[in-house]
């Protein structure tokens, strides 16, 4: 028996997400956890990964942990810095982006996302940031990965506002939309990881993190989850993944504590 | 012809009550000093346009200069909310703020349409999103060439005044930028009047040595202001870093109207201009934001005499 290195929930989410990027070439990166996920994947399962930022950077090689998607460390040493028009038109809309990360205040069972308002649009209870690039990213990136904390108020039966489209719930419709994007393929939360059912486009519980029960998962979402036949435990981060996260990617523990 | 002037003069002459004003810059090159001068001159009823209303617009909207916001993402990047904007949107406190929202691609293309003198610009976005439902200016349109191919169109945006920060320009307004470009070029060509603010005014020969780096020609520029550190707490690539400490601090300052008002009194109304702001921070502070060197390689344009 080996002594397992203790790890935080964020570290588990980062490692589980990075493994989803195996073989990926062009990845649209967000700030925070996705940024560490992509940098970890580049050092493990996806050495060819190009980090693309909506701020107009293709092929970033950040020398420090960027605190925003417009950090100056992203421009210095990158492959290309483009105008935002080019980034959205020639890279994203034209279909060059393989994977993008999105999150939101609310997600539904089909992976539709709300980043606009909680409550009524005209009289919001909480005014959220809005789309940013999320609406077009959801449509054009070939796969969407979602990283979110899981709770009843964020995993909801019905969105207050649909900012970015996921699956429609009608597979025939989804197959004929003609978008580059195939929608969300994976969701990683602090409790579990999910795929999406190929037929219904509905979120499917695939793995639960060590110590988490199905009741924990059920208690933190607003609908009755579909459960994969081969439901398994989320593999713990390896020693090497933890070393990279702690020593190279987030030595200050800004996002991983 | 020189277009050199001061920030006070540029704002006094070109920014009027009721105007649509765009201070652009995506994280990079956001001209906070221009926003402060607009607050100081107590402009009112402005429509503020910007892809990412962040701390600069929270300051301006908190100070009461605006009645409407056109945007695609609002927040304090990497930190959280804009408290002054949210007070106005959620509670009408102290008065309501009208919103007109797009996505990033939609906002960029509004400037492109404005810059290119087009009636609208088509993009593939907004499908199955609620955004067009709350913004009737985003309209679906069928392709005239391909049956069943549908796009959405967005209207041109031509701000009365576009304010663009850059690393350098000559006195005539020929402007060079490196690092993140945002939509500085698009908004400058779209603006009816354009103020360029730079870290350094350089001789025309410096511009002519590297014409590929010229993003905005003086032909569309009305005023050039030399104002070092005018982007703080945003940054100018190669000149100073983003001051992430301030973005964190702003979250505390803006949380209550009283602390926001006290900050405005101390850092905007209480100072005559941006030079005093720079002096108030002191040299050691600016030194702490200076990056190391990473010069570009040079290319040879060739001489064809």
Measured distance CA(B82)–CA(A209) in Å, rounded = 34
Q: Token pair 């490692």 is at which residue?
A: A15
**Residue A167 has what pLDDT?**
97
Q: Do B131 and A57 touch (CB under 8 A)?
A: no
Cα dihedral A188→B51→B42→B269 (10° resolution): 50
Q: Do A72 and B237 touch (CB under 8 A)?
A: yes
Give the DSSP H or E segment for A214: helix A214-219
Q: Do A81 and B78 touch (CB under 8 A)?
A: no
CB distance from B187 to chain A under 8 Å? no
What is chain B's length? 305
Residue scoring higher pLDDT (B15 or A64)? B15
Omega cis (within 30) before B106:
no
Yes or no: say if A201 and A169 are a contact pair by the CB < 8 Å rule. Answer: yes
Distance from CA of B160 to the nearest CA of A (A): 21
Measured distance CA(A60)–CA(A78) in Å, rounded = 4
Give the DSSP H or E segment for A250: none
pLDDT for residue A60 is more than 90:
yes
Q: What angle do CA A176, A180, A186 make, to 5 degrees?
A: 95
Strand, helix or coil at B302? coil
Residues contacting B126, CB < 8 A, separation 6+: A135, B103, B106, B132, B138, B140, B152
Yes or no: say if B73 and A129 are a contact pair by the CB < 8 Å rule. Answer: yes
Measured distance CA(B154)–CA(B111) in Å, rounded = 10
For B37-67, letters b (16+ CB in 10 Å) and e give bbbbeebeebbbbbbbbbbbbbbbbbbbbbb
**Class of the CATH-defined domain B4-102+158-288:** alpha beta
Q: Do A71 and B85 touch (CB under 8 A)?
A: no
Point out the residue among A77, A88, A124 whose CB comes nearest to the CB of B104.
A88
pLDDT for residue A2 is more than 60:
no
Domain limits, chain B: 4-102+158-288
pTM of the full structure: 0.96
Measured distance CA(A218)–CA(B214) in Å, rounded = 57
Point out the residue among B72, B124, B186 whose CB comes nearest to the CB of A85.
B186
For A28-51, letters b (16+ CB in 10 Å) and e give bbbbbbbbbbbbbbbbbebeebbb
Q: How far is CA B30 from CA A132, B56, B304, in A?
A: 17, 8, 38
At A228, list the tokens: 């994969």
Measured distance CA(B132)–CA(B149) in Å, rounded = 18
Q: Do A68 and B127 touch (CB under 8 A)?
A: no
Residues contacting B75, CB < 8 A, separation 6+: A129, B52, B54, B81, B82
ipTM of the predicted structure?
0.96
Q: Which residues of chain B have a pLDDT value below 50?
A: none
pLDDT for residue A252 is more than 90:
no
Contacts of B89 in chain A (CB under 8 A): 124, 127
Interface test with A, best of B179, B290, B291 (most A CBs within 10 A): B179
Q: How confident is the model at residue A155 (pLDDT cuts 50, 70, 90)?
A: very high
Mean pLDDT on A156-174: 96
Q: Is the dihedral of CA A81, A85, A90, A95 positive or negative?
A: positive
Q: Which domains does chain A have, with CATH numbers?
A: 9-249 (3.40.1080.10)
Report the Cα A27 to chain-centroid distance in Å: 11
Q: Do A83 and B185 touch (CB under 8 A)?
A: yes
Measured distance CA(A71)–CA(A55) in Å, rounded = 9
Interface test with A, best of B70, B132, B181 (most A CBs within 10 A): B181
Mean pLDDT of chain B: 97
In terms of C-beta density within 10 A (0-12 exposed, 13-18 middle, 19 or more buried), how is residue B123 classed?
buried
Point out the residue among A68, A164, A178 whose CB comes nearest to the CB of B77.
A68
Task: Answer yes or no: A54 catalytic.
Answer: yes
Contacts of A254 in chain B (CB under 8 A): none
Q: How confident is the model at residue A192 (pLDDT cuts 50, 70, 90)?
A: very high
Measured distance CA(A235)–CA(A61) in Å, rounded = 28
Q: Token pair 């979402």 is at which residue?
A: A221
Q: How confident is the model at residue A1 (pLDDT cuts 50, 70, 90)?
A: very low
Residue A56: CA count within 13 A, CB half-sphere: 24
Distance from CA of B26 to the nearest CA of A (A): 7
In terms of C-beta density within 10 A (0-12 exposed, 13-18 middle, 19 or more buried), how is residue A112 classed?
buried
Backbone torsions φ then ψ of B178, nearest 5 degrees:
-140, 165
Selected residues 259-288 of chain B with any CB under 8 Å from a CB in chain A: none
Tens digits of per-residue pLDDT, B105-145?
Answer: 999 999 999 999 999 999 999 999 999 999 999 999 999 99
DSSP state at residue A125? E
Yes or no: say if B242 and B248 are a contact pair by the CB < 8 Å rule. Answer: no
Distance from CA of B183 to the nearest CA of A (A): 6
**Residue A67 has what pLDDT?**
81
Yes or no: say if A209 and A168 are a contact pair by the CB < 8 Å rule. Answer: no
B157: left (phi over 0), alpha (psi -120 to 50) or beta: beta
Point out the residue among A88, A124, A164 whose CB comes nearest to the CB of B108.
A88
Mean pLDDT of chain A: 94
Contacts of A80 in chain B (CB under 8 A): none
Q: Is the dihedral of CA B285, B286, B289, B290 positive or negative?
A: negative
- Among chain A residues, the shortest Cα distance to B113 is held by A85
CB distance from B181 to chain A under 8 Å? yes
DSSP string for A1-64: ---PPP--HHHHHHHHHHGGGTT--EEE--SSHHHHHHHHHHHTT-TTPEEEETTTEES---SS
Return the percentage of chain A with pLDDT > 90, whole number.
86
pLDDT for residue A17 is more than 90:
yes
Omega cis (within 30) before A55:
no
Q: Where are the beta strands (DSSP E) in A152-225?
A: 184-188, 192-196, 203-208
């Amino acid at each position: 028996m080996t002594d397992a290195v203790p790890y935080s929930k964020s570290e588990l989410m980062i490692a589980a997400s990075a493994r989803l990027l195996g073989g990926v070439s062009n990845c649209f990166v967000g700030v925070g956890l996705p940024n560490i996920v992509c940098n970890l994947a580049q050092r493990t399962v996806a050495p060819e990964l190009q980090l693309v930022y909506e701020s107009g950077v293709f092929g970033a090689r950040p020398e420090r942990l960027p605190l925003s998607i417009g950090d100056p460390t992203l421009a210095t040493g990158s492959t290309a810095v483009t105008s935002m028009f080019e980034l959205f038109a020639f890279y994203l809309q034209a279909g060059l982006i393989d994977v993008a990360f999105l999150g939101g205040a609310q997600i539904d069972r089909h992976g539709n996302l709300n980043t606009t308002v909680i409550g009524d649009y005209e009289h919001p209870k909480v005014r959220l940031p809005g789309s940013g690039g999320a609406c077009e990213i959801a449509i054009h990136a070939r796969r969407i990965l979602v990283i979110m904390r899981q709770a009843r108020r964020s995993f909801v039966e019905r969105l207050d506002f649909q900012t970015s489209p996921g699956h429609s719930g009608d597979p025939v419709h989804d197959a004929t939309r003609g978008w580059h994007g195939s929608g969300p393929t994976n969701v990683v939360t602090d409790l579990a990881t999910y795929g999406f059912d190929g037929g219904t486009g509905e979120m499917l519980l695939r793995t639960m993190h060590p110590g988490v029960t199905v009741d924990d998962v059920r208690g933190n979402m607003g609908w009755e989850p579909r459960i994969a036949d081969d439901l398994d435990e989320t593999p713990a981060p390896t020693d090497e993944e933890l070393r990279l996260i702690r020593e190279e990617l987030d030595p200050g523990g800004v996002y991983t504590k | 012809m020189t277009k050199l002037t001061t920030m006070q003069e540029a704002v006094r002459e070109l920014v009027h009550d009721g105007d649509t004003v765009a201070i652009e810059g995506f994280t990079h090159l956001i001209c906070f000093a221009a926003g402060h001068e607009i607050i100081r001159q107590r402009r009112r009823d402005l429509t503020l346009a910007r892809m990412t209303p962040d701390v600069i617009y929270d300051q301006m909207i908190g100070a009461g200069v605006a009645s409407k916001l056109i945007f695609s993402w609002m927040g304090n990047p990497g930190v959280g909310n804009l408290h002054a904007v949210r007070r106005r949107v959620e509670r009408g406190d102290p008065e309501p703020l009208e919103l007109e929202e797009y996505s990033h691609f939609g906002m960029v293309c509004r400037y492109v349409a404005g810059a290119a003198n087009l009636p609208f610009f088509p993009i593939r976005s907004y499908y199955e999103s609620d955004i067009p439902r709350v913004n009737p200016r985003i309209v679906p349109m069928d392709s005239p060439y391909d049956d069943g191919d549908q796009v959405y169109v967005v209207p041109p945006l031509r701000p009365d005044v576009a304010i663009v920060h850059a690393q350098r320009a000559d006195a005539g307004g020929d402007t060079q930028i490196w690092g993140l470009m945002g939509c500085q070029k698009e908004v400058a060509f779209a603006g009816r009047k354009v103020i360029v603010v730079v870290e350094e005014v350089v001789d025309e020969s410096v511009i002519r040595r590297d014409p590929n780096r010229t993003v905005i020609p003086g032909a569309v520029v009305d005023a050039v202001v030399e104002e070092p550190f005018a982007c703080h707490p945003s940054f100018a690539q190669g000149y100073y870093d983003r001051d992430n400490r301030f973005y964190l601090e702003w979250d505390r300052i803006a949380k209550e109207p009283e602390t926001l008002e006290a900050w405005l009194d101390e850092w905007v109304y209480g100072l005559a201009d941006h030079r005093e702001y720079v002096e108030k921070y002191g040299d050691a502070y600016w030194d702490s934001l200076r990056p190391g060197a990473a010069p570009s390689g040079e290319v040879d344009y060739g001489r064809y005499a």
